[in-house]
């Protein structure tokens, strides 16, 4: 068999392709790299500018307003613990990394999801790409990401975006297509334009589902922080990674605990955001 | 009713499936729906439907599920594009219209009410009702006012700030109706609008629709699978089967002269008592002029072999009746007719049989049928009423017979 069909040189093709991309789009990649770095850095700067106790109170109030008392209490205690353990600054780095990745996911993912929900051909292209993005091991595209964007926070953001964007797109498609047929029919029967249909009917009705997708994206982005640390992104992930390589079980656990706290706070707040919208009241 | 045509469709055909060209040519060769499905894999949704709907008419399209009625009504506002055929609204073919023109027609001329209400769950009742106006870009104050009026029309005042899921099915459909009416359309499409409601509410809604219609004079195209509903509200009914229109006619025509076996089978279970009226079953009434004496009345009763007779004045207005016994006594006592009159039970010609039974069965003198000015039109004989109910056509007057019966002269 092996002789009959010589091995396809897929690896060589990819190498050549990556080389070609790096040399051809160097300027573009540099631009993206700088842009992303500015975004993440300014987020970190803003977060760091706020004293930790004020930040904790702010987050607690947000949790109270958007979710409920219990989650507000958890936020208060959890963040205090993170501060107490000495992971405040790494946590801000992580928060900035996750937020930038999720914001990019939303900016790209929601419009793409809407487009795919309207046009079947787009959906047929997008869905397999999403499968690819989610199942391809992150390390595999982390390496070319270093080529394109150098070491640091940027390849971390890019890898997080690739890994976390699919649920936002998928659930946007699902949400828009789930709008009952008779409601879209009714909307059309009153002479609405495509834009009116989308803005007044489909998106509001799809919002809970889209929010669930964004919630999933946040969780996936958080799960990428350790991997992002491997390419040099600062944050809690870097602490975990260091602890693992130096076999510091206790420190690793502390950093891991801080990640869990951030994850639970973000998850509960965004989850309640989705269900609150659903009530429509 | 004015006689101008509001909606006219010609050879409207819808073929679902990929191979529609081949299906069209087969259809034109006269092949059946089943054969075409076998040969091409295409389904004939609607097969060369043609009819005219007059302005101000309630036109019911009736058929069982899968007969193509919902597809047909969706082609009237092009929610579904017809494969073939022409659809004229106010003389303009909407099939040829651009998207822009079509939107204008949908916004201004034609509104639709849906079986499952299709309200927006995230909007209040008022905001739902405003929807059509909002789409048109009408400013907030004006649309709020029009929507409120529309809600008032359907009896939902005070519910403006509730959400659809806080309302019962019947009320939700009122909102659907109010939303459609807020646009002030000429044509109202109602797709199984009352089918999801329970029977009592459904009947209320039917009554209310008829009530509204008597003030609005919209052209209503109503889809239903329920024959009773069709007969209750339809001015004319189109019966569909397998995508084709089988018969178009007034409820009476469909019941009395089913055009083929299918229609006949469809209508055989109809409760005739809710369809036939006093006009259909009344017999020629014998009457005597009040100015004649009791002697004449008695003579007439003897000649005709009857035991009582109606008494009318010169204008044929019913004054009462006399029995043979009373007439005999009057002759002996030399009394005029008007002193011995007995009251008679009267009904109008459009009273349904179901509402007659009680009166007919308890009256000692046959129930008289009168018009709006109390003029005698005919009488109801028990045997004939029961015969008509049993579906005996001899006991049912056709339209021409009704006219003739009413011409009956006063016997002197």
ipTM of the complex: 0.73
Confirm or reject contact between A185 and chain B (CB < 8 A): yes
Q: Does A190 contact B106 at a Cβ distance shorter than 8 Å?
A: yes
| Same domain for B351 and B237 | no
Residue A184's pLDDT is 92
Tell me the Ramachandran region of residue A265: left when phi exceeds 0, alpha when psi lies from -120 to 50, beta otherwise.
alpha
Residue A76's pLDDT is 94
Evaluate whether A199 touches A145 at the Cβ level (below 8 Å).
Answer: no
| Same domain for B237 and B96 | yes
User: Strand B318-323 and strand B43-54: pairing?
Assistant: unpaired
| Same domain for B351 and B212 | no
B212: Cβ contacts below 8 Å, ≥ 6 apart: B153, B154, B181
Instruction: Give the domain-ending residue among B220, B252, B272.
Output: B272
Residue A276's pLDDT is 53
Instruction: Give the domain-ending residue among B272, B301, B322.
Output: B272
Nearest to B342 by CA among B318, B306, B358, B360: B318
- Does A5 reside within a domain? no
- Does B95 reside within a domain? yes
- Does A2 reside within a domain? no
Residue A23's pLDDT is 84
| Same domain for B375 and B249 | no
What are the E-state strand segments in chain A? Answer: none
| Same domain for B373 and B256 | no
Residue B398's pLDDT is 65
End-to-end alpha-carbon separation of chain B, Å? 38
Structure tokens at A90: 């790494």
Tell me the Ramachandran region of residue B219: left when phi exceeds 0, alpha when psi lies from -120 to 50, beta otherwise.
beta
| Same domain for B282 and B216 | no
Residue A143's pLDDT is 81
Q: Does A280 contact B121 at a Cβ distance shorter than 8 Å?
A: yes
Residue % of chain A over a pLDDT of 90: 56
Residue A274's pLDDT is 62
Q: Does B132 contact A191 at a Cβ distance shorter than 8 Å?
A: yes
| Same domain for B230 and B142 | yes
Q: Is the pLDDT of residue A247 over 80?
A: yes
Confirm or reject contact between A84 and chain B (CB < 8 A): no
Give chain A positions within 8 Å (CB) of B103. 191-193
Give chain A positions within 8 Å (CB) of B107. 190-191
- Does B320 reside within a domain? yes
- Does A149 reside within a domain? yes
Number of domains in chain B: 2
When the pLDDT of each residue in chain A is averaged and rounded to a whole number, the result is 89
Number of domains in chain A: 1
**DSSP one-letter string for A77-101:** HHHHHHHHHT-HHHHHHHHHHHHHH
- A82-125 tens-digit pLDDT: 999 999 999 999 999 999 999 999 999 999 999 999 889 999 99
Buried b (16+ CB within 10 A) or exposed e, A252-263: bebbbbbbebbb
**Tokens 């009116």 sit on residue:** A196
Q: Residue A85 maps to which CATH number? A: 1.10.3720.10
| Same domain for B284 and B268 | no
Q: Residue B242 maps to which CATH number? A: 3.40.50.300
| Same domain for B206 and B142 | yes
Question: What pTM was computed for the model?
Answer: 0.73
CA B114 to CA B105: how far, in whole Å?
A: 18
- Does A4 reside within a domain? no
Confirm or reject contact between A179 and chain B (CB < 8 A): no
CA B21 to CA B315: how far, in whole Å?
A: 67
- Does A104 reside within a domain? yes
| Same domain for B230 and B162 | yes
Q: Which residue of chain B is at minimal alpha-carbon distance from A202?
A: B120
Of A180, A190, A205, the CB nearest to B131: A190
Beta-carbon contacts below 8 Å between A and B: 63
List the beta bridge partners of residue B223: B61, B191
| Same domain for B358 and B254 | no
- Does A208 reside within a domain? yes
- The range of the structural domain enclosing residue B374 comes to 278-407
Instruction: Give the domain-ending residue among B239, B272, B305.
Output: B272
- Does B352 reside within a domain? yes
Helix axes A69-85, A249-279, angle to 10 degrees: 160
Q: Which residue of chain B is at minimal alpha-carbon distance from A186?
A: B118
- Does A45 reside within a domain? yes
- Does B90 reside within a domain? yes
Angstroms from B94 CA to nearest CA on chain A = 13
Which sign, positive or negative, has the C-alpha torsion B262, B263, B266, B271? Answer: negative
| Same domain for B330 and B201 | no
- Does A90 reside within a domain? yes
- The range of the structural domain enclosing residue A120 comes to 10-279
Q: Residue B399 maps to which CATH number? A: 3.10.580.10
Residue B280's pLDDT is 81
Per-residue pLDDT of chain B (412 residues; tens, 9 = 90+): 445 889 999 999 998 887 778 888 888 887 777 888 888 888 888 988 999 999 999 999 998 888 889 999 999 999 999 988 999 999 899 999 999 999 999 999 999 999 998 999 999 999 999 999 999 989 999 999 999 999 998 888 889 899 999 998 889 999 999 999 998 899 999 999 898 888 888 888 898 899 888 888 899 999 998 888 888 899 999 999 888 898 999 888 888 778 888 787 777 777 777 777 888 888 888 888 888 888 888 888 888 888 888 988 888 888 888 888 888 888 888 888 888 888 888 888 888 888 888 888 888 888 888 888 888 888 888 878 877 777 676 777 765 665 555 554 444 4
């Amino acid at each position: 068999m092996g002789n009959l069909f010589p091995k396809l040189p897929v690896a060589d093709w990819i190498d050549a392709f990556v080389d070609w991309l790096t040399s051809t789009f160097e300027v573009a990649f540099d631009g993206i790299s700088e842009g992303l770095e500015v975004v993440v850095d300014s987020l970190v700067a803003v977060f760091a500018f706020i004293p930790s106790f004020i930040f904790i109170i702010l987050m607690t109030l947000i949790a109270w307003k958007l979710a409920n008392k219990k989650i507000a209490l958890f936020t208060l205690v959890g963040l205090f613990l993170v501060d107490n353990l000495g992971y405040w600054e790494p946590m801000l780095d992580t928060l900035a990394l996750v937020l930038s990745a999720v914001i990019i996911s939303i900016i790209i993912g929601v419009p793409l999801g809407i487009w795919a929900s309207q046009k079947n051909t787009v959906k047929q292209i997008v869905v397999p790409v999403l499968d690819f993005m989610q199942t391809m091991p992150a390390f595999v595209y982390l390496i070319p990401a270093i080529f394109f964007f150098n070491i640091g926070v940027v390849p971390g953001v890019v890898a997080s975006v690739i890994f976390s964007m699919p649920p936002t797109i998928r659930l946007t498609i699902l949400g828009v297509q789930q709008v009952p047929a008779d409601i879209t029919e009714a909307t059309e029967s009153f002479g609405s334009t495509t834009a009116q249909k989308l803005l007044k009917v489909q998106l509001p009705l799809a919002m809970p589902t889209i929010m669930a997708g964004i919630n999933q994206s946040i969780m996936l982005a958080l799960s990428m922080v350790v991997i992002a640390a491997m390419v040099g992104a600062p944050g809690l992930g870097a602490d975990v990674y260091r602890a693992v390589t130096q076999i510091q079980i206790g420190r690793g656990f502390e950093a891991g605990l801080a990640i869990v706290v951030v994850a639970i706070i973000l998850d509960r707040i965004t989850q309640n955001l989705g269900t609150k919208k659903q009530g429509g009241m | 009713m004015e006689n101008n045509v509001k909606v006219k469709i010609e050879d409207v055909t819808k073929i679902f499936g990929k191979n529609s060209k081949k299906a069209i040519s087969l259809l034109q060769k006269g092949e059946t729906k089943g054969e075409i499905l076998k040969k091409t894999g295409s389904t004939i949704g609607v097969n060369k439907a043609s009819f005219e709907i007059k302005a101000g008419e309630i036109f019911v399209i009736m058929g069982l599920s899968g007969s193509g009625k919902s597809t047909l009504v969706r082609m009237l506002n092009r929610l579904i594009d017809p494969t073939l055929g022409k659809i004229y609204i106010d003389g303009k073919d909407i099939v040829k219209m651009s998207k822009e023109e079509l939107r204008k027609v949908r916004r201004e001329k034609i509104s639709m009410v849906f079986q499952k209400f299709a309200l927006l769950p995230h909007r209040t009742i008022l905001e739902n009702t405003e929807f059509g106006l909002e789409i048109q870009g009408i400013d907030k104050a004006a649309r709020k006012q029009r929507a409120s009026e529309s809600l008032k029309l359907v009896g939902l005042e005070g519910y403006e700030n509730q959400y659809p899921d806080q309302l019962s099915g019947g009320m939700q459909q009122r909102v659907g109706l109010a939303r459609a009416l807020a646009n002030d359309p000429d044509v109202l499409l109602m797709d199984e609008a009352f089918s999801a409601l329970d029977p009592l509410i459904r009947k209320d809604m039917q009554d209310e629709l008829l009530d509204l219609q008597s003030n609005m004079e919209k052209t209503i195209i109503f889809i239903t699978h329920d024959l009773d509903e069709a007969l209750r509200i339809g001015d004319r009914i189109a019966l569909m089967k397998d995508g084709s229109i089988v018969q178009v006619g007034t409820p009476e025509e469909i019941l009395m002269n089913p055009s083929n076996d299918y229609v006949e089978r469809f209508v055989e279970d109809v409760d005739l008592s809710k369809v036939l009226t006093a006009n259909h079953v009344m017999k020629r009434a014998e009457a005597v002029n009040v100015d004649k004496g009791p002697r004449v009345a008695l003579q007439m009763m003897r000649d005709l072999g009857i035991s009582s007779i109606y008494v009318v004045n010169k204008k044929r207005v019913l004054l009462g009746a006399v029995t043979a016994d009373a007439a005999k006594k009057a002759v002996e006592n030399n009394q005029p007719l008007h002193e011995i009159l007995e009251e008679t039970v009267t009904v109008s010609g459009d009273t349904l049989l179901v509402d007659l039974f009680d009166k007919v069965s308890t009256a000692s003198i046959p129930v008289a049928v009168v018009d709006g000015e109390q003029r005698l039109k005919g009488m109801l004989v028990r045997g004939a009423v029961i015969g008509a109910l049993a579906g005996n056509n001899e006991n049912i007057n056709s339209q021409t017979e009704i006219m003739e019966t009413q011409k009956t002269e006063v016997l002197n």
